[in-house]
Chain A
Amino acid sequence: MIRTLTGKGIWDRRKTLMWWGIGMTLYVILNVAFFPSLKEESFSELFESVPEAMLAAFGIQDIAALSTGVGYVNSQLYDGFGTILVAAWAIAIGATTLSSEEDSKTMDMLLSLPVSRTRVVLEKWLAMVVLMVGISAVIFLVLVVSNPIWELDLTLEGMVWVNLGLALLSILFGTVAMAVSAVSGRRGLAIGASGGLLALLFLLYGLGSVVDSLESIRGTSPFYWYLDSVPLAGTVSALGFLGMAFVTLLFLAIAVLGFNRRDVGV
């Protein structure tokens, strides 16, 4: 039974959530299952010939750290493509949740109901939040189960923090996408702008650790706020996490204002 716009937003994507859940489960397992065998070898030898900047771009800051569960999981999932994948899904939802209804003209029907545009934005945003928390929770559970099997030596605290951060970071990018789409009404622009921003800020964080000229602005990347303190080790940056939440709310406000101001469905 669909009673609210948030409920509908989740219901509409229930199958997508299932597939993302399955996909991320496999992605996590495929990565962590290699850990015990890789741990035996020397990572230093394995990556000897790879330039430092290249490694940094892929989220590997310190080769020696790869032989620990925290370092390995961090580089393979959170400091790498796992986070990018989840954030990309958030962007896909944020960019389309308003604009696809406008493109398909169902927005006229929705707005003919006695619901304010503010509520439309907030409820649709909340659905995205729930989905991001959902997928982060799936990854958390897979890690909790994998932890003893593949001897990752992760702490429960670390796993909670890093996945909370994952949800926060992806919600941030989803909200940016939603703001662009709410202001412009253009899905393509929303995906392009926020996707580009995601790539840019990820590289800034990664390369900033090795490229001197980027070092000073590295701290502007939300990836830095999320990951630099290594939340998987249980050392969370409260300021960083609050920063992500703050920027998210800022863009949410832009989304609300933007969607209230303009003509819809033209």
Chain B
Amino acid sequence: MTAIVETNDLTKFYGQTRGVENLNLAIQPGQVFGFLGPNGAGKSTTFRLLMDFIRPTSGSARVFGLDAQEDSREIRSRTGFMPGDLALYPRMTGNQIVEFFSFMRKIDVRQEAKRLAERLDLDLGITVRNYSTGNRQKLGLVQAFMHRPELLMLDEPTGGLDPIIQQEFYAMVADAVSDGATVFLSSHVLPEVERIADQVAIIRDGGLVRVDEVGAFRREATRVLAFTFSQPVPEAEFSTLEGVSVVTTQGTKLIITSTGPIDAIVKAAARHEVVELEAHEGELEDVFLAFYEDEP
């Protein structure tokens, strides 16, 4: 199966300043691929390279199996893009922009745009200059989705949207995916990626730190387990287990944190009579933050 987006040692320097370096990405059809990283990590540079706004210093990129530079026009006709630094023509109304883009794309997307605008509760009759930040963002989403593209590239799409509209956006992504689209979106907001992405790439200082399924990251999240046994149990039975550290024992109560497989813990606990068990799913955020922070 051909990857929808594929980069090979993609590198971009702006003079001496690094954009991205030796980036290797592969996004499969139908995936929602989350691109997570702090500001300045190279997320926007990657999108801009894929859209052919800027040219790689070295390496290459392919979208739909096509060369990102040579076949850019075809790629762009099949892609919906929302820039991180969104700017729309300030003196045009939402409708005029939809109409103009419609003609530029040579397909009439006005009905679909109207439907999307209703979904996002956006009035298309207003001049862009007079839109709030959130409404401008909505118009950015409308124009990205309105031609039902095969690939959506969304650079920080939810900034400035209120929570209800964010939910609607997640639903729009889900609908697009069920229609066969692939979604590549960046964010520095973790719960968002956790919520909608299948695959996550963490980028830092222009390079990928790790690419994995959201589930894999989740499995690594620190869980907190609090057992209450019928009688005190020796700490050592748990503290020797993989990924476990004992927080405290208070008489018959044992509280541990775990980043490893849960099975061994359950089996160890099963050797005793368990009166009560409380489990808290750890914050995925901690896992990601560990990647953001500088290595020790």
The chain B residue sitting closest to A115, CB to CB, is B104
Across the interface, do B104 and A114 meet the contact criterion of CB distance under 8 Å?
yes
Docked-complex contact B87 and A114, CB < 8 angstroms:
no
Task: Name the residue on B nearest A2 (C-beta).
Answer: B100
User: In the complex, what residues of A have CB within 8 A of residue B92's CB?
Assistant: 2
Chain A CB within 8 A of B210 CB: no
Contact with B along A100-116 (1 / 0, CB 8 A): 00001111110111111
Cβ A109 vs Cβ B105 within 8 A: no
Whether B242 sits at the interface, judged by CB under 8 Å, is no
Contact indicator B100/A109 (Cβ below 8 Å) = no
- Residues in B166-207 with C-beta less than 8 Å from chain A: none
Q: Check if B123 is an interface residue, CB within 8 A of chain A.
A: no
Query: Is A264 engaged at the interface, CB distance under 8 Å to the other chain?
Result: yes
Q: Which of A3, A106, A108, A115 is the one whose CB lies under 8 Å from B53?
A: A108
Q: Binary interface profile of A, 1-29, with partner B (CB < 8 Å = 1, else 0)?
A: 11111001000100000000000000000
User: In the complex, are the beta carbons of B51 and A111 less than 8 A apart?
Assistant: yes
With a CB–CB cut-off of 8 A, which chain A residues contact B96?
A: 2
- How many residues from B make CB contacts under 8 Å with A? 31
CB of B110, distance to nearest CB on chain A (Å) = 12
Residue of chain B at shortest CB distance from A265: B53
Most chain A beta-carbon neighbours within 10 Å: one of B55, B87, B92? B87
Q: Is A266 an interface residue (CB 8 A)?
A: yes
- Contacts A111-B51, A263-B53, A265-B53 known; A116 to B83 CB distance under 8 Å? no
Judge whether B54 and A114 touch: CB under 8 Å: no
Contact of A113 among B54, B76, B83, B86 (CB under 8 A): B76
Q: Smallest CB–CB gap between A265 and chain B, Å?
A: 6
A8 to chain B, nearest CB (A): 6
CB distance from B186 to the nearest CB of A (A): 14
B85 near A105 with CB under 8 A, answer yes
For B86, list chain A residues within 8 Å (CB). Answer: 105, 109
Q: Judging by beta carbons under 8 Å apart, are B51 and A114 in contact?
A: no
**Which of A105, A107, A112, A263 contacts B76 (CB under 8 A)?**
A112
Nearest residue, chain A, Cβ from B76: A114
Docked-complex contact B53 and A264, CB < 8 angstroms: yes
Which of A4, A109, A116, A264 meets B88, CB within 8 Å? A109
Contact residues in B for A113 (Cβ distance below 8 Å): 76, 101, 104-105
Contact yes or no, B73 A115, CB < 8 A: yes
Chain A residues within an 8 Å CB radius of B87? 104-106, 108-109
For residue B35, give the distance in angstroms from its CB to the closest CB of chain A. 17
B81 interface residue per 8 A CB criterion: yes
Indicate with 1 or 0, residue by residue over B73-106, a CB within 8 angstroms of chain A CB atoms. Answer: 1101101010101111111100010011101111
A8-B100, A109-B88 known; A114-B83 Cβ under 8 A: no
Interface residues of B in 43-91 (CB under 8 A from A): 48, 51-55, 73-74, 76-77, 79, 81, 83, 85-91
Please report the C-alpha to C-alpha distance between residue A166 and residue B253 in the assembled complex, in whole angstroms: 93
CB distance from B46 to the nearest CB of A (A): 14
CB distance from B85 to the nearest CB of A (A): 5
Contacts of B51 in A (CB 8 A): 108, 111-112
A112 touches B81 (CB 8 A): yes
Q: For residue A262, which residue of chain B has the nearest CB? A: B55
The one of B52, B55, B77, B83 in contact with A109, judged by C-beta atoms closer than 8 angstroms, is B83
- Complex: A8 Cα to B90 Cα, angstroms: 13
Which residue, of A4, A12, A105, has the highest number of chain B Cβ atoms within 10 A? A105
CA distance A4 to B100 in the complex (A): 7
B73 CB → nearest A CB, Å = 5
Q: Is B104 a contact partner of A106 (Cβ separation < 8 A)?
A: no
Residue of B53, B55, B86, B101 with most partner-chain A CB within 10 A: B53
Q: How far is the CA of A113 from the CA of B89 in the complex (A)?
A: 14
B12 CB to nearest A CB, Å: 9
A104 (CB) vs chain B CBs: closest residue: B87
Complex formed: what's the CA distance from A264 to B51 in Å? 11
Residue interface bits A240-266, CB-to-B below 8 A is 1, else 0: 000000000000000000000011111
> 11 A-B pairs, CB-CB below 8 angstroms?
A1-B99, A2-B99, A2-B100, A4-B103, A5-B104, A111-B76, A112-B83, A262-B55, A263-B53, A264-B53, A266-B14
In order of increasing CB-CB distance, the 6 nearest A-B pairs are A114-B77, A105-B87, A263-B54, A112-B81, A3-B103, A113-B104
- Interface residues of chain A, those whose CB is within 8 Å of chain B, are 1-5, 8, 12, 104-109, 111-116, 262-266
